Structure 1
């Protein structure tokens, strides 16, 4: 059995409950082997092409898995289920978010306040519901009145489209890296954007910076450099995985963030005087004290959690997360 067959078995069984995967994988492996042998014996394929031809003959792995697991792919009928699912997931992945963002931008330009957030979310949800309804309706009509086109032909499926086998060590580390880099980019963008004002007063956005402008003399460039180091460290973790040395570097990076931020806040140098002048009249002394405690506790808790998370990952020999649920961390490497 080659990697191509392994990828086919993985694609066919990955959406099934864990209790069914082994049995189905064995059955499919036997069926693939029998099909390969039959094609060679009949002269329908050469030994070099028999495996690929056998997988094409068996068809799309998701369709084949559905016939084994008593889970029919039904919209109105099974013929167009996979095409409908692929299109719907594609549209829902970006259309609602794009419409919501465009709506939010238009409302902000028109002078909207915090209500922009609620309005944008509501419009995004509405668009998502309409997309699901109208897409499903179109496919229901196609199912009822369309021709009997073969699903594999419609999907244009070939064995080359099979997913790569997951890495035994870190099955989701690329997703971790992308998520980390996106959030770091957002954080860096926020540090720059806040300087131009993010405060709404009397329903209008004002040019009041959140952080004190004199921090640009050192501390804000320091935080931007720290974000760059965090991005480089994330790439390093992606390439090398967690170990004790990386865990100690992670602790140092978190300390390098938390200590200056808490110190600047306690010294009253973190937020700009203009921002405090807008906010303080809206708060009494008790509210200010509670918010101050929550801010310091939040910074310390976030940094401590991330540092401890890295230590736990290193202690477990690497992996995606610290919680024990399927897919959250990979098994330790087994030495032969």
Structure 2
């Protein structure tokens, strides 16, 4: 690693733990401090000595916070935040899936799925809030106890076994530009979106269809008929299941990579191009729509079945075209991000 890059990586490791609004100013200040510590014709050894004096980037970053961290000290605070970031998304996802699974298993079929879904959303929001409170409380308690019993004290045997931070550790660090990074929020959204369309596919005859008010006042919804022919949809289930597995594997890959790379772009492009082809094949099946949907819609709109059929055909083509365009744009955008140095 070049000497200049060693300094930049150290500054990055400090500033990435700070609020965005103060990163640039602190980076300038820290760079100036490091330069003042170095001789005129400095070497890599001089840089490492200076960085060693400054110490662990996590501890130094904690000293820049406007307010002192009393509950969790600087030696543990960075690990505390990292633990929160790693545990909270998975705790939320597990909570959501448990609740959805319970609703599917205990669904009686007497109430419209859309109504059940609306009620489920309200309950899910409450569950998510409860999970956030529980995770925050218990992780904070654990770290506070660790702090108070002195495990963060470097003189304890536990910490004597731990490797002390040195500038050599920076060689394993990597500066990830903000525009190139894959946020955890994007990964979680991809996971939720995959779960939504997978559930919709296998339950289309109960979920995707025409609804009407049960009492005419908008209080409660009654499922009238499905839009799609479920038997036709399920004839493609092996293909769909393969893509569900591929999407989940891609999500795990993105989570671990944390940034767009050319290898990830290629894998992402292959999976999404194949999914577009599969989507077009399924959408082109003439038996995909429920046979009763066209006459029913024509009766509701007081028009002819041929007019409804032509309109649905154009709408379906628009949906397919939109799916193709958005997929191609997503692939191009990921390629553009991967090229950022």
Q: TM-score, normalised to structure 1's length?
A: 0.55
Please give the alpha-carbon distance, in whole angstroms, between the structure 2 residues aligned to 1:228 and 1:148.
Answer: 42
Alignment check: 8 A CA contact 1:76 1:140 kept = yes
Alignment check: 8 A CA contact 2:9 2:173 kept = yes
Please give the alpha-carbon distance, in whole angstroms, between the structure 2 residues aligned to 1:165 and 1:140.
Answer: 30
Partner of 2:327: 306
Partner of 1:105: 101
Please give the alpha-carbon distance, in whole angstroms, between the structure 1 residues aligned to 2:97 and 2:245.
Answer: 27
Q: CA deviation at 1:57?
A: 4.8
Deviations 1:149-169 (A, max 9, x none): 448988856343876323679
Partner of 2:132: 128
Q: CA deviation at 1:142?
A: 7.0
| 1:88 partner SS | helix
Q: Cα 1:125–1:225, aligned 2, differ >3 Å: closer, same or farther?
A: closer
Please give the alpha-carbon distance, in whole angstroms, between the structure 2 residues aligned to 1:90 and 1:215.
Answer: 37
Deviations 1:265-303 (A, max 9, x none): xx4x21456xx68x99899734996x9576654443232
Please give the alpha-carbon distance, in whole angstroms, between the structure 2 residues aligned to 1:135 and 1:233.
Answer: 29
Q: Cα 1:100–1:11, aligned 2, differ >3 Å: closer, same or farther?
A: same
| 1:131 partner SS | helix
**1:20 and 2:25 are equivalent in the alignment:** yes
Partner of 2:288: 270
Q: Cα 1:94–1:183, aligned 2, differ >3 Å: closer, same or farther?
A: closer
Partner of 2:92: 96
| 1:92 partner SS | helix
Please give the alpha-carbon distance, in whole angstroms, between the structure 2 residues aligned to 1:168 and 1:122.
Answer: 36
Q: Cα 1:73–1:168, aligned 2, differ >3 Å: closer, same or farther?
A: same
Q: CA deviation at 1:23?
A: 0.8
Please give the alpha-carbon distance, in whole angstroms, between the structure 2 residues aligned to 1:175 and 1:120.
Answer: 20
Q: CA deviation at 1:124?
A: 2.4
Instruction: Identify which of 178, 181, 201 aligns with 1:172.
Output: 181
| 1:319 partner SS | helix
Please give the alpha-carbon distance, in whole angstroms, between the structure 2 residues aligned to 1:232 and 1:77.
Answer: 36
Alignment check: 8 A CA contact 2:80 2:143 kept = yes
How many matched pairs? 291
Please give the alpha-carbon distance, in whole angstroms, between the structure 1 residues aligned to 2:199 and 2:136.
Answer: 34
Please give the alpha-carbon distance, in whole angstroms, between the structure 2 residues aligned to 1:106 and 1:187.
Answer: 15
Alignment check: 8 A CA contact 1:210 1:271 kept = yes
Q: CA deviation at 1:239?
A: 3.0
Q: CA deviation at 1:222?
A: 6.9
Q: CA deviation at 1:216?
A: 6.5
Please give the alpha-carbon distance, in whole angstroms, between the structure 1 residues aligned to 2:25 and 2:87.
Answer: 31
Q: Cα 1:120–1:285, aligned 2, differ >3 Å: closer, same or farther?
A: same
Tell me how large the CA RMSD over aligned residues is. Answer: 6.0
Structure 2 gaps, min length 5: 109-115, 212-219, 254-259
Partner of 1:239: 262
Q: Cα 1:223–1:110, aligned 2, differ >3 Å: closer, same or farther?
A: closer
Instruction: Identify which of 59, 63, 76 aligns with 1:67.
Output: 63
Please give the alpha-carbon distance, in whole angstroms, between the structure 1 residues aligned to 2:87 and 2:37.
Answer: 34
Q: CA deviation at 1:304?
A: 1.9
Q: TM-score, normalised to structure 2's length?
A: 0.54
Q: CA deviation at 1:127?
A: 1.5
